Copies of this chain bind each other. A is one copy, B any other.
């Protein structure tokens, strides 16, 4: 037996008992005639004591010789601590050790195993197994487990069936790039890893399974942006015989359940906002509504004077930043530089100080009088002490720029409290978006999303105006889920694929099985998928998904711990009927 208790279990109640503990040496303090060892395991830390009076001399010496991160097993008596530490779960006691066994030694770790470590990101990634010993990482992984379990419980209780869909499927060049898997038994042919189980879950609905869920790995061979992973985890769901309303209700329920079970927070407000409204009011289809600073469009109030910049703009739009009239001229200049950075891309920023005396001072006083500025203040809801920030230009770009500024100001003002949760649905997404360069249509959600029935006839005449029963679940400025009501008849699916540029032969080769299935009694259905990595990170009050993944890959898609990917044996390649054309020293 390695242990009778965990290192987080003992308290004054156990004083006098003989116990066995095992774990890692967190710290050794050597005071000559007395020595303490902090013993750590997954559950906590327990203090061990060795002293010249009560311990055998060899034992005291052995304790002093222990290296950090050695693995030991001890037995001893639980005794009261002279100086109890109320900050520590086991702070009332210590163990007077009678036996000590070193189970394994440790080289000096390349970084300290402490909550605040001295290890850089790369070093921590290479020795991820040591990083996981640190409380913050360990707690994140346990937190993820709790969220997953609650998701499963909730959905299972609602009658959803967890059904595993295959990982070795077929490549569909549409959308993001697939990872592919050469088939040795089918020479020259490849499987693809799923970007999502989309078609399979739809086939399960055709198969009458009615309510499906799965927590499932998905794969996308994309050029990695910061905080993207080539493999990621999805909470994937689908329901038959439902309307959008049914789906929103179920997953609103799931979100509330999670916030209640995980954080004890009862959500009372769960707004639904159209895509059009979100874009107009927040410049963004995933608005953070923990705070205000809603957009006010100022074309009417600002295009009647001689200020050419505004007059030429498609959109003039502003926000009132609460309390920011305290910004010095220098700080405002820095803010103007900030919006002009290429990542934001604004041409400039017009500001209006809302003074305590009710007067206004703006960067465009040359063109606008106090009365003009008062209308801006009214439109943006600015109060005395606020700073109105106004951007102008093409609608889409200007909205995106002001959205970036709004988020930046909220961060500076501490309005993005990670312990406050403000979920909402964004609904009525457009079905299609037009690629500005090629003029081709892309599916805004995916090619299986149904047009709103009342927009069906517009598909032929004005596809850009067609909306879908498509919806995103947004939490604290992050899209954590999205879905739609699907097409369930061959004719509409066929028309949709043709709109997206598929020839009939391509459509048949790639999605023929799905369209065939629609001819055998496909029920109306819809669903959604949550990104588990991001959901867990946001619920955990953080934004970096990598901190919630046990073995993440770096931005080059590499696992630096196991050093993957790696070259294959030539024999392996030959068995797969492949030749590498990569440059030899790549």
Contact residues of A with B, CB < 8 Å? 1-3, 22-24, 40-43, 69-71, 73, 103-107, 109, 127-133, 138, 141-142, 144-145, 148-149, 152, 156, 161-171, 173, 177-193, 199-200, 203-204, 206-211, 217, 219, 221, 223-224, 230-231, 233, 241-243, 488-489, 513, 517-524, 549-551, 553, 556-559, 561-569, 572, 574-584, 586
Contacts and interface: CB of A to CB of B under 8 A. Distances in A.
Contacts of A178: 572
Q: Which interface residue of A69, A168, A219, A565 has the most chain B CB atoms within 10 A?
A: A565
A138 B106 contact: no
A586 B217 CA distance: 31
B149 A521 contact: no
B572 A577 contact: no
Contacts of A217: 164, 167, 217
Contacts of A199: 562
Given A145-B162, A578-B579, A170 B566 contact: yes
Contacts of A132: 204, 207-209
10 contacts: A23-B241, A41-B241, A42-B208, A71-B524, A149-B162, A164-B233, A170-B563, A189-B567, A217-B217, A513-B562
A182 B183 contact: no
A465 to B, nearest CB: 26
A208 B156 contact: no
Given A41-B208, A162-B148, A187 B586 contact: yes
A524 B2 contact: yes
Contact of A566 (B1, B189, B193): B189
Q: Which interface residue of A200, A210, A582 has the most chain B CB atoms within 10 A?
A: A582
Contacts of A188: 567, 580, 582-584, 586
A582 B186 CA distance: 9
A241 B224 CA distance: 39
B167 A219 contact: yes
B207 A557 contact: no
Contacts of A549: 164
Given A1-B243, A170-B562, A583-B187, A576 B521 contact: no
Contacts of A164: 144, 217, 233, 549-550
Given A520-B69, A563-B170, A156 B145 contact: yes
Pairs A-B, 8 closest by C-beta atoms: A188-B582, A132-B207, A106-B521, A187-B582, A170-B564, A189-B565, A2-B241, A577-B582
A163 B132 CA distance: 12
B183 A565 contact: yes
Contact of A71 (B103, B162, B181, B523): B523
Q: Which interface residue of A169, A185, A221, A550 has the most chain B CB atoms within 10 A?
A: A550
Contact of A170 (B189, B565, B581): B565
A73 B523 CA distance: 10
A572 B517 contact: no
Contacts of A566: 170-171, 189-190
A190 B2 contact: no
Contacts of A520: 69, 106-107, 109, 127, 129-130
Contacts of A133: 207-208
A575 to B, nearest CB: 8
A237 B166 CA distance: 22
Contacts of A561: 203, 513
B141 A163 contact: yes
Nearest to A157: B149
Q: Which interface residue of A1, A43, A233, A572 has the most chain B CB atoms within 10 A?
A: A572
